[in-house]
């Protein structure tokens, strides 16, 4: 079962992301290449699949969702994780 993403978690992540969206996205690309390369490859493959969509926007949404789930999962487990 997926962890619950609370309003506090989403607010925390939005604050983190909106400080500098481009840098955050680039950091997530590098982070996921190391932590979960299969997810990173899937995100990029899906984003490239349709020429009519914005690759960076799709990737940003996927990275944002991944990060929220990761933080929620770690909060439920009682551990903290920094990007």
The set of residues, in sequence order, having a beta carbon less than 8 Å from that of 48 and lying 6+ positions away, is 55
The pLDDT value given to residue 82? 57
Whole-prediction pTM value? Answer: 0.83
CA 27 vs. chain centroid, Å, equals: 10
pLDDT digits (tens), the chain, 83 positions:
899 999 999 999 999 999 999 999 999 999 999 999 999 899 888 877 877 888 888 889 999 999 999 999 999 888 765 55
The structural domains of the chain, with segments of one domain joined by +, span 7-77
């Amino acid at each position: 079962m997926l962890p619950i993403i609370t309003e506090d978690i989403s607010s925390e992540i939005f604050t983190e992301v909106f400080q500098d969206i481009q840098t955050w996205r680039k950091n997530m690309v590098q982070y996921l290449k190391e932590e979960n390369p299969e997810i990173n490859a899937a995100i990029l493959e899906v984003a490239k699949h349709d020429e009519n969509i914005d690759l960076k926007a799709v990737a940003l949404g996927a990275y944002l969702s991944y990060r929220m789930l990761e933080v929620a999962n770690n909060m439920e487990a009682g551990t903290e994780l920094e990007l």
